[in-house]
A and B are shown apart, each in its own frame.
Chain A
Amino acid sequence: METHSKATVCYAMVIDLDKCVGCGTCNVACAIENNVSVPPPEALENRGLTWMRTQRVDNGKAWPDHRTVTVPIPCQHCEHAPCIHVCPVTAVQLDESTGIIGQIPTRCMGCRYCMAACPYHARYFNWFDPKWPEGLQDTLNPDVAPRMRGVAEKCNFCHGRLDRARELAAAEGRPAAEPVHYTPACAEACPHGAITFGNRLEEGGPIAALEKKPEAFRLLEALGTAPKVTYLSREPWIRRIGLSRLDRVRGHGDGPEGA
């Protein structure tokens, strides 16, 4: 009998900002894995679709003391997710068996309350029909359904890959659906090994150990959303970026030490 136990699996991600160089590989790997379309050139800058957005933050000083950090921000998969509570059509759901916040585009009616509610700007809206150049639909991933204009979308920790891993586990005759091991596209592609993904509840697993490190912090912890994405840095000024809201529009917001 296929039943999921709440207690065994909670997927979580740890991103080491001291290793991240802002190269954008996670961003592209994510777009390829999840069929994220490219808006037309005339689209405004803040109408892009980037499930894994990388925000550049600096320490607010001038050359030569200027320092930059790049912060990859996927959906934070909050334990207490504001987007769930505001959705009028239940298109957002917390899967208690995995901890993943799911967004169902075919159910979404496009009111964008969730986008307003998300303090991390991790949700994106399809302002345009998702179009690919002629023939390119032949390179889409069948494990992820393409969305349509007028719905919101966001990171779901590569649920298509989780589905494939579960399928393999079932085919191999493993008795329970959970836990299975899989790696999201961003974690697989990161050339600097900055992204660690796994089951937070696994005993002796890497995630639990990393989350307990003194250099660990989360974004906007004071809001009580309890994100499942944790960041690491040895630099105190980088750890302070978690205290304030990061601007969504690209650019180079003044850091915590800024004027």
Chain B
Amino acid sequence: MTLDLTRRSLLKFMGGAVVGSVLSPLPWKLLDDAAIWTQNWSWIARPPRGPVSHMFTTCQLCPVGCGMRARLIGASFVSAWPVVGDPAAAGTLCPLGLAAAQMRYHPSRVRGVARRARAAADPAWRIVDADATTGELGQRLAACRSRGAGDSIAIVDLRPGRAMSRLYREFLARQGGGIYATAPDAWQASAAAFAGMATVGALAPAPDPARARTVLNFGAPLTAGWRGRDIVPHAAGGPRLIQVDPAATITAARADRWLPARPGSEAPVALALAHVLVFEALAADARVNALADLPHENGSTLRTVLADFAPERVAANSGLTPAQLRDTARELAAGRPALVLGVGDAGGGPLGSEEEAAIWNLNLLLGAVGPDGALGVRPADTALFDEPAGPAARSLSDIPDGSLDVLLVDGSFPGVPVSAEQLRRKLRGPDGLLVALSPYAGGAAGTPADLILPVFAPGEWVEDVPAPALAARSSYSWATAVAVPAPFALHPAEWLAQLEAASGLVVPPEGGKSGHEAELKRRAGVLQSRGSGQVFDPADGNTTDVAAMSDPDLLAGALARGARWSDKATLTLADRDVRPLGQGGGLAARWRSLAGGRADAAKPGATGSLLLMAGGGLAPAAGAITAPVLNKLYRESGLQPGSRQLAVSATTARALGLAEGKSALLTTAHGRRRVKVRFDNSLPPDVARIAAGPDPADMGDPAASADDRTDIPDLCGAAERPVWRLVRADLQEAHDGNA
């Protein structure tokens, strides 16, 4: 018997099945689940789950060292928030700090000891064997030591004054006299320029705007920044602000007086103001006269040098009228205690020793130094912590080019204004090795390096944070560990000990990780035994006097919980302990040569239709590795300029045939870079400005070509001259369609 299976019967079966399944949950459930499935693509990120907790620490992403409240979900460090009441930065946190949790997962993080052959056409990083590499490096050090060529080894410490800094110096001392160098930013350079002014002790300047009635400021966005270095605006009870700024920035527009001086005229403006003070506004003040008559150089006095800088002579080149200069000087004299801050736009590197000397001398003449002034002093970090004399710190620019076999760069600090080109030039030929102790294959240390040792990222280990340059008071805190360290990350001190062992030396107990921890504890002990200052506890917002702490380990315990020690008061200098800057060095002659302003100290024969200013960004410096989310500020919104946007006034740009948003090539005598033109009518005509701040590539975006990766310091010739904030440049439309 057979059953005749016809098409009709199959259709009947299917019809029945459809009716049956419609009467069952099958289609409805599948539809529902499919809808939910579209909400759960596997590539949609899953946030961590778990209990919420908080830890207190210190931000390590710029020298200010703000207090930070780390939010943890389970063991995951998810975000950082400001600590209300913290003395640093008035209890605020800037975008760099807010995004600190992302730094551990930065796309450019190196996941092992990485090496590249720079001579190759396409130098790519390769992960190599850690022990073999350390061994090879140790042999190099041993070879240098045996030849007696200690000065062919150098360590560049981008964040001096830490416990780690001491370990570096001791390491070099044991290696037989290597060079310990720093690469000062605008603030550090300004603080360092003060050194010759005080004739007693190792002192650092501690200007305190809170004690001033008037503040004269050269260029820095002092009331429109991220608060790290900001002062309280006059409207909120702060001092009156006189801003010297070429551009109509928000700080300039809201200042009580704005001097729209030409870029580069800082020194003549400061000297003209000093001239008016000495010869007119404060001519009857015996103290000012005594200071002005102190010996300067070659038998002259400050008074005789200043005679050449009458406002009428300076006015023409500074873009200001003599009346503006005279009024400003009178206002400063009447508004004492007055303070002059001279870091310029900090993104453009140091101002130059001539400007800094003129500015510190202006402070001196205003009586800012002394018990009634706003310019206190504090012990230098080395003096605060009783450090033994190791190799003295030198500035990176003092190391002769082509003299080093091994250059170690501490890049635990992701952003400082170091020119990659400048670091490479210090090496002796192609065999020289630039070693970066850095979590990232980028930034100041990673960009020029041949070899990267993957050290801990911020938040993964305990480090100390000394007071920033030009802080009103000494302070000290620990950046405690808030995150589980990456398995491949190295402790810098531990690796240094391995290197020392590999170079054939016996590592003493003060080396290695335990030595670093012992040094941190020793520093806490030193502060506690000094008995001065107070401790801010972020957990409850209370402040305790150190003198009231009985247990000798109490301060170390508080620091480990994220507390901050700060000195209550600063020291003051008596007039007999100060002298005007400029003894020797032909400063008066250099001042006179700058009377027309610092326009172009570039290569001879360099021309350019534009005056290019470096600066205008709030990020600490060029070559900064910053968190991917900061692309929101630098790429997506364009709120912060970043180093791909060239700001220029609409009139100037149109005269060059450039429209807003156009891709253009910016050429100087030192290099060129592709930029995007942004109209900024706050800039004077024929002046362009580019931030030395981060580039989207520093936030994990791929870079397109070499023209996109030229550092701003290198573009401005930082490898060849110490003052690189101004340079002549040409701008023309880029026609390669690669915008």
Residues of A within 8 A of B (CB): 18, 21-25, 27-29, 31-33, 35-36, 38-39, 41, 45, 48-50, 53-54, 56, 58, 61-68, 70, 106, 129-142, 144-146, 148, 188-189, 191-192, 250-252
Asked whether, in the complex, the Cβ of B681 is within 8 Å of the Cβ of A141, the reply is no
Q: Which residues of A contact B235 (CB under 8 A)?
A: 18
Asked whether, in the complex, the Cβ of A24 is within 8 Å of the Cβ of B640, the reply is yes
Asked whether, in the complex, the Cβ of A192 is within 8 Å of the Cβ of B227, the reply is yes
Question: A21 to nearest B CB, angstroms?
Answer: 4
Compute how far the CA of A49 lies from the CA of B95 in the bound complex, rounded to whole angstroms: 17
Asked whether, in the complex, the Cβ of A22 is within 8 Å of the Cβ of B98, the reply is no
B76 within 8 A of A: yes
Known A-B contacts A21-B223, A23-B224, A31-B632; the reply to A135 vs B48 at CB < 8 A is no
B165 within 8 A of A: no
Q: Which residues of A contact B48 (CB under 8 A)?
A: 137-138, 140, 142
Quick one: closest A residue to B697, CB to CB?
A41
Contact with A38, one of B101, B628, B660 (Cβ below 8 angstroms)? B628
What are 8 A-B pairs at a CB distance below 8 A? A22-B639, A23-B95, A41-B701, A138-B76, A139-B77, A146-B47, A189-B98, A252-B681
Known A-B contacts A22-B250, A133-B106, A133-B107; the reply to A53 vs B637 at CB < 8 A is yes
Contact with B637, one of A63, A132, A144, A250 (Cβ below 8 angstroms)? A250
B696 within 8 A of A: yes
Asked whether, in the complex, the Cβ of A63 is within 8 Å of the Cβ of B99, the reply is no
Contact with A62, one of B227, B630, B649 (Cβ below 8 angstroms)? B649
Asked whether, in the complex, the Cβ of B99 is within 8 Å of the Cβ of A32, the reply is yes
Known A-B contacts A41-B701, A64-B260, A189-B98; the reply to A27 vs B78 at CB < 8 A is no
Known contacts A25-B94, A29-B95; 17 further A-B pairs (Cβ under 8 A): A22-B224, A22-B639, A24-B637, A25-B98, A28-B629, A32-B98, A38-B636, A45-B636, A48-B636, A64-B248, A133-B628, A137-B47, A142-B47, A250-B639, A251-B661, A252-B680, A252-B681
Quick one: closest B residue to A138, CB to CB?
B76
The contact string, 1 if C-beta is below 8 Å from chain A, for chain B 25-60, is 000000000000011010111111110000000000
Asked whether, in the complex, the Cβ of A135 is within 8 Å of the Cβ of B696, the reply is no
Asked whether, in the complex, the Cβ of A141 is within 8 Å of the Cβ of B82, the reply is no
Q: Which residues of A contact B639 (CB under 8 A)?
A: 22, 24, 27, 54, 56, 70, 250
Which one, B123-131, B347-355, B682-690, is touching chain A?
Answer: B682-690
Asked whether, in the complex, the Cβ of B105 is within 8 Å of the Cβ of A133, the reply is yes
Asked whether, in the complex, the Cβ of B226 is within 8 Å of the Cβ of A136, the reply is no
Question: A106 to nearest B CB, angstroms?
Answer: 5
Chain B interface residue count, Cβ-Cβ cutoff 8 angstroms? 76
Asked whether, in the complex, the Cβ of B78 is within 8 Å of the Cβ of A140, the reply is yes
B238 within 8 A of A: no
Compute how far the CA of A178 lies from the CA of B260 in the bound complex, rounded to whole angstroms: 53
Compute how far the CA of A70 lies from the CA of B660 in the bound complex, rounded to whole angstroms: 19
Known A-B contacts A67-B253, A146-B47, A191-B89; the reply to A39 vs B636 at CB < 8 A is yes
Asked whether, in the complex, the Cβ of B47 is within 8 Å of the Cβ of A141, the reply is yes
Asked whether, in the complex, the Cβ of A191 is within 8 Å of the Cβ of B49, the reply is no
Compute how far the CA of A49 lies from the CA of B635 in the bound complex, rounded to whole angstroms: 12
Chain B positions 537-562 with a Cβ under 8 Å from a chain A Cβ: none
Question: B439 to nearest A CB, angstroms?
Answer: 13
Compute how far the CA of A41 lies from the CA of B700 in the bound complex, rounded to whole angstroms: 10
Q: Which residues of B contact A61 (CB under 8 A)?
A: 681
Q: Interface centre among A21, A61, A129, A144, by most B CB within 10 Å?
A: A21
Asked whether, in the complex, the Cβ of B702 is within 8 Å of the Cβ of A188, the reply is no
Compute how far the CA of A248 lies from the CA of B93 in the bound complex, rounded to whole angstroms: 28
Asked whether, in the complex, the Cβ of B250 is within 8 Å of the Cβ of A21, the reply is yes
Question: B102 to nearest A CB, angstroms?
Answer: 6
Question: B673 to nearest A CB, angstroms?
Answer: 17
Residues of B within 8 A of A (CB): 38-39, 41, 43-50, 73, 76-79, 81-82, 89-90, 92-95, 98-99, 101-102, 104-107, 221, 223-227, 230, 235, 247-248, 250, 253, 258, 260, 618, 628-633, 635-640, 649-651, 660-661, 678-685, 696, 700-702
Compute how far the CA of A133 lies from the CA of B630 in the bound complex, rounded to whole angstroms: 13
Q: Which residues of A contact B637 (CB under 8 A)?
A: 24, 27, 48, 50, 53-54, 250
Known A-B contacts A38-B636, A41-B635, A64-B260; the reply to A138 vs B696 at CB < 8 A is no
What DSSP secondary structure best describes chain A's contact surface?
A: loop
Q: Which residues of B contact A66 (CB under 8 A)?
A: 248, 681-682
Compute how far the CA of A49 lies from the CA of B631 in the bound complex, rounded to whole angstroms: 11
Compute how far the CA of A48 lies from the CA of B636 in the bound complex, rounded to whole angstroms: 6
Compute how far the CA of A136 lies from the CA of B102 in the bound complex, rounded to whole angstroms: 6
Asked whether, in the complex, the Cβ of A189 is within 8 Å of the Cβ of B81, the reply is yes
Quick one: closest B residue to A61, CB to CB?
B681
Q: Which residues of B contact A189 (CB under 8 A)?
A: 81-82, 92-93, 98
Asked whether, in the complex, the Cβ of B105 is within 8 Å of the Cβ of A135, the reply is yes
Asked whether, in the complex, the Cβ of B685 is within 8 Å of the Cβ of A63, the reply is yes
Known A-B contacts A27-B637, A50-B637; the reply to A139 vs B76 at CB < 8 A is yes
Q: Which residues of B contact A33 (CB under 8 A)?
A: 79
Question: B685 to nearest A CB, angstroms?
Answer: 7
Q: Which residues of B contact A145 (CB under 8 A)?
A: 47
Quick one: closest A residue to B680, CB to CB?
A252
Q: Which residues of A contact B230 (CB under 8 A)?
A: 191
Q: Which residues of A contact B660 (CB under 8 A)?
A: 251-252
Q: Which residues of B contact A56 (CB under 8 A)?
A: 639
Compute how far the CA of A70 lies from the CA of B221 in the bound complex, rounded to whole angstroms: 15
Compute how far the CA of A128 lies from the CA of B59 in the bound complex, rounded to whole angstroms: 32
Asked whether, in the complex, the Cβ of B629 is within 8 Å of the Cβ of A32, the reply is yes
Question: A186 to nearest B CB, angstroms?
Answer: 11
Instruction: Enumerate the 10 nearest inter-chain pairs by beta-carbon distance, A residue then B residue, closest first.
Output: A48-B636, A21-B224, A137-B45, A140-B47, A135-B105, A28-B95, A191-B92, A191-B227, A142-B47, A136-B105
Compute how far the CA of A41 lies from the CA of B104 in the bound complex, rounded to whole angstroms: 21
Contact with B45, one of A21, A67, A132 (Cβ below 8 angstroms)? A132
Asked whether, in the complex, the Cβ of A134 is within 8 Å of the Cβ of B107, the reply is yes
Q: Which residues of A contact B39 (CB under 8 A)?
A: 106, 148
Compute how far the CA of A21 lies from the CA of B221 in the bound complex, rounded to whole angstroms: 10
Quick one: closest B residue to A192, CB to CB?
B227
Question: B255 to nearest A CB, angstroms?
Answer: 13
Quick one: closest A residue to B93, CB to CB?
A189
Contact with B700, one of A133, A138, A142, A191 (Cβ below 8 angstroms)? A133
Q: Which residues of A contact B260 (CB under 8 A)?
A: 63-64
Compute how far the CA of A33 lies from the CA of B101 in the bound complex, rounded to whole angstroms: 12
Compute how far the CA of A145 lies from the CA of B225 in the bound complex, rounded to whole angstroms: 32
Asked whether, in the complex, the Cβ of B633 is within 8 Å of the Cβ of A28, the reply is yes
Q: Which residues of A contact B221 (CB under 8 A)?
A: 21
Compute how far the CA of A64 lies from the CA of B679 in the bound complex, rounded to whole angstroms: 15
Asked whether, in the complex, the Cβ of B43 is within 8 Å of the Cβ of A131, the reply is yes
Contact with A148, one of B41, B79, B247, B250 (Cβ below 8 angstroms)? B41
Asked whether, in the complex, the Cβ of B106 is within 8 Å of the Cβ of A137, the reply is no
Q: Which residues of B contact A18 (CB under 8 A)?
A: 235
Asked whether, in the complex, the Cβ of A188 is within 8 Å of the Cβ of B682, the reply is no
Q: Which residues of A contact B223 (CB under 8 A)?
A: 21
Question: B38 to nearest A CB, angstroms?
Answer: 8
